[in-house]
Structure 1
Amino acid sequence: MPLYVPPAPAPALRSVLAALGSPTAVREARTPALRALQGPHTPELPLPVHVLDRLAPGDGPFRTRLTGWRFLIRSNDRAVAAADTMLTPDGWTFSHFFEGPYLASTERALRQAESMAADCQPRLLSVPALYMLTLWLHGDPTTDASTGTPAPTDVLIPLAPAPPGIAAHRPHTVADLLPALALRLAPSPAAKASPLLGQPA
């Protein structure tokens, strides 16, 4: 599937380039691979990071909000780190560098997406309640990457490490995965029926 990677806001990219050019920012980053680089390295594949704000069964559409842009820092055709930016009252600014399992998992999920049939816009969708991150393949590649609600036919690829019981790198439609996650987070019937401590039975 052709991936239509959305352009990041220019100030977000400039802030990452400035951080990469700052010996202090690179030296203080908890990214040994980035600190050890000798050759050229560039921020590529900007992905908007959306957070799932509401995840409750039967509670209307799932709501997301844009919280940042993530860039993969590449050197010699491989990603060695990532850089996150965040929106402040003064605009987009660099947040931090990082590395770890989500880095390789993101690259793998992007390769999976390229092998699929339909055009899409890649995004990242975070589910904080489950400590879960997915590659969100939005079905309308021309839409504004900072907005939008997951459509039922959009595809989500859980990144590794995924929560227990959810297979990483197994694609799901939004219609299949998000309701299942909502049920996982819903209180059990026994919990609903039990009186709160301190209340009369």
Structure 2
Amino acid sequence: MPLHVSPAPAPALRSVLAALGSPTAVREARTTALRAQQGPLSPECPLPVHVLDGVGRLGGPPRTRLTGWRFLILSGERAVAAAEAMLTADGWTFSHFCEGPYVTATERALRQAESSPTPYQPRLLSVPELYMLTLWLHQDITANGAEGPPAPGDLLVPLAPAPPGIAAHRPHRVADLLPRLTSRLAPAAPPLMGTTA
């Protein structure tokens, strides 16, 4: 079943296209793979990037907030980098190019998700407290990709490298994975008074 990719805001796409068309922006990027490419580069597969805040916070569910849109930068059929646009007070603007394991892991996770019989809307969900990035497969394919928290039945696919003890590229239901993340980040209980070692 094909994934239902949400369209990125037009100004976000324009800002990434302008950066790709700028020899200075590409030359000054810290992505050697991008600088070394010959031929056309194209931004594809826009994914809204959400950050999961408050995972270890007591007394409330974690919250998500949109921080940008990430595009895979393709050279031919292969992703060589990613570009991110972020929302500022003046609107959407190009933020940065990046490369590394999350680019290839995102591409791999998207291919895996496309083979699923269930339709999903792909998003990215970052958990900064664990240095973790996941492909978030949202069940409501008609939803606005820039809004809403993860539903209990949504799937999260941790991208490699994943934190120790969490298998990369293995889908987890939100209802199963979030409690594990919360327990990892919950503050440790203070020692009991009057106990001796």
Q: How far did residue 41 of structure 1 move?
A: 1.1
Which aligned pairs between 1:4-153 and structure 2 lie closer than 5 A? 4-56=4-56, 59-153=59-153
Runs of 4+ in 1 over 2 A off after TM superposition: 56-62, 192-195
1:70-102 deviation digits (Å, cap 9, x = unpaired): 000001100011001111000010001111000
User: How far apart in 1 are the matches of 2:152 and 2:101?
Assistant: 28
Q: How far did residue 61 of structure 1 move?
A: 3.1
Corresponding letter in the other structure for 2:46: P
Corresponding letter in the other structure for 2:191: A
SS for the counterpart of 1:193 is coil
Q: Is 1:138–1:151's contact at 8 Å kept on the other side of the alignment?
A: yes
Corresponding letter in the other structure for 1:78: R
1:193 corresponds to 2:174 = no
User: How far apart in 1 are the matches of 2:57 and 2:155?
Assistant: 19
1:50-81 deviation digits (Å, cap 9, x = unpaired): 00012147733331000000000001100011
Number of residue pairs matched? 193
User: How far apart in 2 are the matches of 1:59 and 1:173?
Assistant: 22
Query: What are structure 1's unaligned runs of at least 5 residues?
Result: 196-201
Q: Is 1:57–1:179's contact at 8 Å kept on the other side of the alignment?
A: no
Corresponding letter in the other structure for 1:100: G
User: How far apart in 1 are the matches of 2:94 and 2:14?
Assistant: 9
Q: Superposition RMSD on alpha carbons, in Å?
A: 1.4
Query: Identity over the aligned pairs, expressed in percent?
Result: 74
SS for the counterpart of 2:112 is helix
SS for the counterpart of 2:176 is helix
Name the TM-score, length of structure 1 as normaliser.
Answer: 0.92
User: How far apart in 2 are the matches of 1:58 and 1:137?
Assistant: 26
SS for the counterpart of 1:81 is strand
Q: How far did residue 137 of structure 1 move?
A: 0.3
Q: Is 1:4–1:141's contact at 8 Å kept on the other side of the alignment?
A: yes
Q: Is 2:58–2:186's contact at 8 Å kept on the other side of the alignment?
A: no
SS for the counterpart of 2:102 is helix
SS for the counterpart of 1:129 is helix
Q: Is 1:158–1:168's contact at 8 Å kept on the other side of the alignment?
A: yes
User: How far apart in 2 are the matches of 1:171 and 1:15?
Assistant: 32
Which aligned pairs between 1:147-166 and structure 2 lie closer than 5 A? 147-166=147-166
User: How far apart in 1 are the matches of 2:68 and 2:192?
Assistant: 40
Name the TM-score, length of structure 2 as normaliser.
Answer: 0.94
User: How far apart in 2 are the matches of 1:67 and 1:135?
Assistant: 15
SS for the counterpart of 2:117 is coil
Q: How far did residue 194 of structure 1 move?
A: 5.7
Corresponding letter in the other structure for 1:92: W
User: How far apart in 2 are the matches of 1:57 and 1:139?
Assistant: 26
Corresponding letter in the other structure for 1:157: V
